[in-house]
Amino acid sequence: MTAQEVRLCGLLLQEHFGEVVAKVGTHLLKSGAQNLRTIIHETGISLDLVKKSLCVLVQHGTCVFSSGRKAPGSPTEYRTSCDRILRILRYPRYIYTAKTLYGDTGELIIEELLQRGDMTMSSTVKTVADRLTQNMEEGRSMDYSEVSSAFSKLVETHFLQRSTPATPAIPGTPAAPVSTAPPTPESFPDCYRVPHVTLIGRGKRRLSNEDGEDQRNAKKTKMDSETHGDEGIYWQVNFERFHLHFRDQAIISAVANKLDQTSSEIVRTMLRMSEVTTSPTATCTKPLSANEIFRSLPSSYNIPRPILDQYLTLLVDDPMEFVGKAGESGGGMYVVNLHKALANLARATLESVVQERFGSRSARIFRLLLRKRHLEQKQVEDFAMIPAKEAKDMLYTLLSQNLVQLQEIPKTPDYAPSRTFYLYTVNQLPTARMLLQNCYKTVANLIERRLFESKESKNKRTFSTGDIIESSFWSVGVTILTIVLFPCRLDSAENQVDETIFLLESYVNSTATS
C-alpha cells in the first residue's frame, strides 16, 4: 500500500461516494483494521455518518469486517484494501466488455450491479427491464425473461457470482483466528448456480416528469413489495473473470500485431477452449491437441489441416513464445504460455515508455541491456553503435530515472574505482513495479485536473442569457469546451492509463504466483 495508491483510492472514493466516505475509507487504508469507536475518534466524523460510510463501503465489497482480534467478544473491526478500490477505475471497461459480449442488456446488468455493489437477481432484472423499456419506442417494453436469460448467461460464464453470505458476528462467540482469510465467493459450491426465480412481467416505463433522483428512490421502495424466491441471494460482479478476459484480449491482439490475423484467431480459439479448464493463476493453458483445435476453429476460417499445423509451428517458433508445444500425441499438443506472454507484454510496455520519453537511441540502449543483462559502458557504446559521449549521457539519464541500475563488481576487496567493474543492467520486475506506481500517480493527477477544471467551469457555468448574448461566440465556445470536452479528454486518458495499469498489474501478480 503505497502513498500513491492511497491518494488514488481517496480520489476514486470521493468521486463515487462523496467526501465523507472518502475520508473514512482513506483513514482505514492508512490505519489498518480498526473498530467503530476508534474510527470515530480518529476521524472526528459523527457516529451516524461513519456508520453510513461503512455501510456503503461494505455494500460495495471494499470493506470487510470481522470479530475483534484482541479478545473474544471485542468489537467488530473493519478493514479496507487498495486493490478493490482501485477496481473502480476499471468500471467503464467492465461495462463496455459486457456490452460487446451480451449487448445492451448485459451492459445495463453490469452497470447496475457496479453501482449498487450487490443485488438480488430479481431486483436486477426488474430494474434493467425498466431502464431498457425507457429507451424503447412508445408502446414497446422489455420482457423480464429476456433480461433473466442474459443474467443467467453472465452467471454461466462466471462474469457474475454470488456474494459471500454474511455471517453476522454474534457477541459472545469466540472470535475466529485472524489468520484465516475471509472466505472467497468461490469457496461456496453454489457460487455460480442461478436460483429458481419466478419473474413474469415486463419493464415499466416511468412517467416523463420524474428525473433521475426519483428513479433511485423508486428503486429502493420497489425492492420490498414482491418476493420471487431468491431472497437473500445477492450477486456481485466477478472482477477476476473480467480480468482473465482482458488478459486473453491482450494476448490475442499482440499475436495479431506481431504475426497475422489468422494466427490470432487460432490463439483466440485455444484460449476460448481453455476458459473453464485453466485456473486463474496457471502459467499456461492445459494442452490442447491440434485435432481438437482444428475442430473448434470458427467455421468462417476455412484453413486446411496441414496449414493449421504450419501456423501452429510458426507460433511455437516465434521468439515471443506465445504458444508452446507440450507433446506429440493427437497431431501435436499445444499450450498458450500465459505468464510468458504477460512478461513479454510488460517488457514491450517498458520499452515503449523509454522510447516515447527519451527517444529511440535510449530505447536501443534499454533493449540492449534487457537482452544482454550486464554490460560495461564501453560494450554498450560498441553494441549500440552510439558515440561515447552521447551514450554516456543517455545511460546517466536512464540511471537517474532508475530505469537502469549499476552493478559493481570489485576486483579487489577495497572497491577501488579503478579496479572495479561497473556493469549496467535492467531488472524488469522492479522497473515494472516502479512504472506501475507512476501510472497510479498519473491517474490521480488526471482526476485532480478534471476536478479542478469542473470547479473552474462551475464558476463560469452560472451565466444568464444576457451574458451569452453579450459575450463573444468564441468565449462561449471555450466555456463549453471546458465543461464538456476537457473532462471527456481527461476521462478517456484515465482509461488509457488504466490499460497500462492492467498489463503491469497482471505481470506483477503473475510473478508472485509462478
Partner 1 sequence: QTAGWVQCEELCQQFPHGITDQVIQNDMPHLEPQQRAMAINKLLSLGQLDLLRNSSGLLYRMKDMQSTSKMKGSDNQEKLVYQIIEDAGNKGIWSRDIRFKSNLPLTEINKILKNLESKKLIKAVKSVAASKKKVYMLYNLQPDRSVTGGAWYSDQDFESEFVEVLNQQCFKFLQSKAEAARDSKQSPMVQRNSSFATSHEVWKYICELGISKVDLSMDDIETILNTLIYDGKVEMTVIAAKEGTVGSVDGQMKLYRGVNPVIQPTGVVRTPCGLCPVFEDCHEGGEISPSNCIYMTEWLDF
Q: Which of 262, 283, 289, 291 binds partner 1 (CB under 8 A)?
A: 262
| 445 lies in the binding site for partner 1 (CB under 8 A) | yes
| 258 lies in the binding site for partner 1 (CB under 8 A) | yes
Q: Which of 28, 199, 386, 423 binds partner 1 (CB under 8 A)?
A: 386
| 499 lies in the binding site for partner 1 (CB under 8 A) | yes
Per-residue CA distances from 206 to 211, 264, 337 (Å): 10, 46, 51
Taking CB under 8 A as the binding criterion, the range among 214-222, 256-264, 279-287, 461-469 that sits at the site for partner 1 is 256-264
Residue ranges in 453-472 that form contacts with partner 1 under rule CB under 8 A = 453
Q: Count the neighbouring beta carbons within 10 Å of the beta carbon of residue 130.
A: 22
Nearer to partner 1, 240 or 351 (CB): 351
At residue 79, φ and ψ (nearest 5 deg) are -140, 135
Residue ranges in 324-383 that form contacts with partner 1 under rule CB under 8 A = 344-345, 348-349, 351-353, 355-357, 360, 363-365, 367-368, 371, 383
| 497 lies in the binding site for partner 1 (CB under 8 A) | yes
Nearer to partner 1, 22 or 363 (CB): 363
Q: Which of 184, 217, 257, 514 binds partner 1 (CB under 8 A)?
A: 257
Q: How far is the CB of 295 from partner 1 (least distance, A)?
A: 20
Beta carbons of 386 and 394 less than 8 angstroms apart: yes
- The residues, any chain, with a CB within 8 Å of residue 196's CB and separated by 6 or more, are 229, 230
Per-residue CA distances from 297 to 207, 267, 273, 311, 319 (Å): 49, 10, 10, 13, 24
Helices 91-116 + 486-513 axis angle, to 10? 90
Taking CB under 8 A as the binding criterion, the range among 43-51, 145-153, 421-429, 496-504 that sits at the site for partner 1 is 496-504
- The residues, any chain, with a CB within 8 Å of residue 491's CB and separated by 6 or more, are 450
| 295 lies in the binding site for partner 1 (CB under 8 A) | no
Nearer to partner 1, 396 or 452 (CB): 452
Nearer to partner 1, 188 or 383 (CB): 383
Q: How far is the CB of 353 from partner 1 (least distance, A)?
A: 6
| 403 lies in the binding site for partner 1 (CB under 8 A) | no
Beta carbons of 182 and 66 less than 8 angstroms apart: yes
- The residues, any chain, with a CB within 8 Å of residue 412's CB and separated by 6 or more, are 419, 420
Q: How far is the CB of 410 from partner 1 (least distance, A)?
A: 25
Nearer to partner 1, 149 or 457 (CB): 457
**DSSP letter assigned to residue 481:** I
Q: How far is the CB of 258 from partner 1 (least distance, A)?
A: 5
Q: How far is the CB of 381 from partner 1 (least distance, A)?
A: 9
Nearer to partner 1, 212 or 387 (CB): 387
SS3 268: helix
- Per-residue HEC secondary structure of 390-437 comes to HHHHHHHHHHHCCCCEEEEEECCCCCCHHHEEEEEECCHHHHHHHHHH
The dihedral built from the CA positions of residue 316, 320, 322 and 325, taken in this order, carries a sign that is positive
Distance CA 39, CA 27 (A): 8
Residue of 423, 364, 368, 362 whose CA lies nearest to 397: 362
Residue of 388, 396, 387, 384 whose CA lies nearest to 358: 396
Q: Would you state the cell numbers that stand for residue 220, as one nine-digit string?
A: 429502493
Distance CA 274, CA 256 (A): 19
Q: How far is the CB of 498 from partner 1 (least distance, A)?
A: 7
Q: How far is the CB of 433 from partner 1 (least distance, A)?
A: 14
Nearer to partner 1, 41 or 371 (CB): 371
Nearer to partner 1, 18 or 359 (CB): 359
Residue of 402, 400, 403 whose CA lies nearest to 366: 403
Distance CA 337, CA 267 (A): 11
Distance CA 258, CA 313 (A): 15
Q: Which of 35, 163, 313, 454 binds partner 1 (CB under 8 A)?
A: 313
Q: Which of 150, 154, 254, 403 binds partner 1 (CB under 8 A)?
A: 254
Nearer to partner 1, 259 or 284 (CB): 259
Residue ranges in 83-112 that form contacts with partner 1 under rule CB under 8 A = none
| 314 lies in the binding site for partner 1 (CB under 8 A) | yes
Amino acid in position 103: G
Q: How far is the CB of 378 from partner 1 (least distance, A)?
A: 10
| 149 lies in the binding site for partner 1 (CB under 8 A) | no
| 493 lies in the binding site for partner 1 (CB under 8 A) | yes
Per CB under 8 A, residues contacting partner 1 are 253-254, 257-258, 260, 262-263, 307, 310-311, 313-314, 319-320, 344-345, 348-349, 351-353, 355-357, 360, 363-365, 367-368, 371, 383-388, 435, 438-439, 441-442, 444-446, 448-449, 452-453, 486, 489-490, 493, 495-500, 503
